Chains A and B, each alone.
Chain A
Amino acid sequence: MHGSATNGAVGSGLDVATLREVEQFIYREARYQDELEYDAWEALWTDDAIYWVPANGGDSDPTREVSILFDNRARIATRIKQLHTGKRHSQTPPSQLRRIVSNVELLDGEADGIGPEGDIRAGANFLVYESRERGVTLWAGRSDYTLRRTPDGLRMAYKKVTLVDSDRPLYTLAFLI
């Protein structure tokens, strides 16, 4: 389970500079998603990226059980290309979105073998307000990140989005969560 053991008490080893950098990264990612900056958002991913939205709780094995979304880097690219066609009907017109991201935390430990040493693990909670012709849908959940320092700044190697409602019937989720 990601996001369990947290960093030590504030003031005793919390890397405030890193926390600020991670927060700014996560807020920027949220803004790219809300404002449909698809290419800018795609550029935040590393080449070995995994983007995962599990179904039926957060503990499933995505190689044996269905997920709402389980993209490797190639599939992230396909997703963005599809959005760019203008014929992705479930996003044409696009959802109107604003999200609040909070409870940003740096988390202890390496990335469970997902990336090389030095990767940063972080977690955050979110609440997305989505407005479409159908009506308003609220999406709440937890994002677990593995971030990597690159010459271009932080990049996402891994993002797992665990929806509070992941085990219930969900409306179409065609925007970037």
Chain B
Amino acid sequence: MPSVAPHLPWDELIEPGRVHGSLYTDPDIYAAELERIWYRTWVFVGHVSEVPEPNDYVLKSIGPQPVIMSRDRQGEIHLLLNRCTHRANLVCDAPKGNSSAFRCPYHGWTFSNTGKLLGYPFNSGYDGTALKAELGLGRVPRVAQYQGFVFGSFAEEGPTLEEHLGAATDAFDRLVRLSPTGEVELTAGWLQHKCKANWKMLLENETDGYHPQFVHSSIFSVASSGIGDLYGDKSTAVCRDLGNGHTENDLRPEFRRMDQPLGWFGTKPEKVPDYVAQLEAKLGAETAREVLVDGSPHVMVFPNLFIAEIQLFVIQPTAVDETVQHVTAVQYKGAPDMNRRMLQQTIGSVGPAGFLLADDSEMYERNQRGVQARSPEWLTIRRGMHREREDADGFTVGDATDEVPQRAIWKHYRSLMGGAA
């Protein structure tokens, strides 16, 4: 692995209550992040439901790297690099499809969907050398799944996916528990929302409980939504450091106080009777009610998967000052009435024209312009430091609007980049 900017004084750039502005703007730091975070730690790539059949494939990414997620004939999932091992052409140009092999259009080299080199035209030109064993497609060496979510790590060795996810596994468990089949499907396709901002502006905002009442006041004031109050000064919700850079806005205290099944989704059981009946049949009426009161998680899985109740966002850095946010609606396998509503609410809220995300994106871009100003150099993330506390499980939590998540992200970031853990 190239050693990029090892000289950078990470401990001087990242303090417990403030971070240096250059972390969002310095191309050398961005290059170092690619090596030490994006090409090392576990990164979310896609979901098994995006390649449901044998030989399905879909183009995905790990940061700026193009990755083919394929399912082979036996059903195993592979993450392959979209680069011919001959002269580096792209071997796959369709965004998705079904094929057991990829044929490079440049000189006809053909690779199986497991990455093996199957053949190359006019092979006498290689003097009998056995290229096949040597020149398979590049691959993401470690691939692992949790609840159908596929992650890749470019590091040959390191923590397992479950070790990396740690306490964040609970977010996936809670998400799929809301599905009457225990499975979610990402079948609604993705919106791709681009902004001129560093990826960490997005990462830090996903579990920022301080901004909704300000950034989203326009929609809260014209559409009936209880979201704003969840992030008020009086809210009993908490923000939480889940470890390993994973962070959460835990809204369950508010939902339990309100005690309304599906209140978290702004609807009532009688509006989605089939879904509720299915969930009751699976979990029993009492547990189903608890699950429907608690709602869906709001958890940012470091570095790129944001589980936002009914949406999933995937953060993809494409340059130091440009990021693409991919977003889709969560769909519960076998729950069409609920799925329709989750899809329509997603379309209204997020993506380039969304009532919420258009304004978040505007903030990211203004942050990126603002951070170019020379003074005060630092960004302050000390909100709620005086009232941080441990919850019953030993996690650091703060009030709904505190900056526990931002401090948790930077602490983990610093340890990955080479500073003190």
Interface residues, chain A, with chain B CB atoms under 8 Å away: 53, 55-56, 60, 62-71, 75, 78-79, 81-82, 85-90, 133-135, 167-174, 177
Contacts and interface: CB of A to CB of B under 8 A. Distances in A.
Contacts of B344: 70
B218 A55 contact: no
A63 B346 contact: no
The binding surface of chain A is classed by DSSP as loop
A73 to B, nearest CB: 14
B218 A69 contact: no
B348 A75 contact: yes
A89 B211 CA distance: 13
A69 B189 contact: no
B353 interface: yes
A62 B362 CA distance: 26
B222 A169 contact: no
Contacts of A69: 347, 353
Contacts of B340: 63
Contacts of B196: 134-135
B343 A63 contact: yes
B347 A172 contact: no
Contacts, number: 108
B192 A169 contact: yes
A90 B222 contact: no
B201 interface: no
B82 interface: no
Contact of B352 (A68, A86, A87): A68
B361 A169 contact: no
Interface of B: 95, 187-196, 215, 217-219, 221-223, 324, 327-329, 340, 343-344, 346-348, 351-353, 355, 358-359, 361-363, 365-366, 369
Nearest to A67: B347
A88 B353 contact: no
Contacts of A65: 188-189, 343
Contact of A82 (B95, B192, B219): B219
A64 B366 CA distance: 34
Contacts of B218: 82, 85-89
Task: Name the residue among A63, A88, A135 with the largest chain B CB count within 10 angstroms.
Answer: A88
Contact of A90 (B189, B194, B217, B361): B361
A88 B215 CA distance: 8
A177 B353 CA distance: 10
A168 B363 contact: no
Task: Name the residue among A68, A90, A170 with the largest chain B CB count within 10 angstroms.
Answer: A90
B189 A56 contact: yes
B358 to A, nearest CB: 4
B328 to A, nearest CB: 6
Q: Which 3 A-B pairs have the closest CB atoms?
A: A169-B194, A169-B192, A87-B218
A71 B349 CA distance: 11
6 contacts: A55-B351, A68-B191, A167-B95, A171-B194, A172-B195, A172-B352
Given A63-B343, A69-B347, A174-B353, A87 B192 contact: no
A97 B95 CA distance: 32
Contacts of A133: 365-366, 369
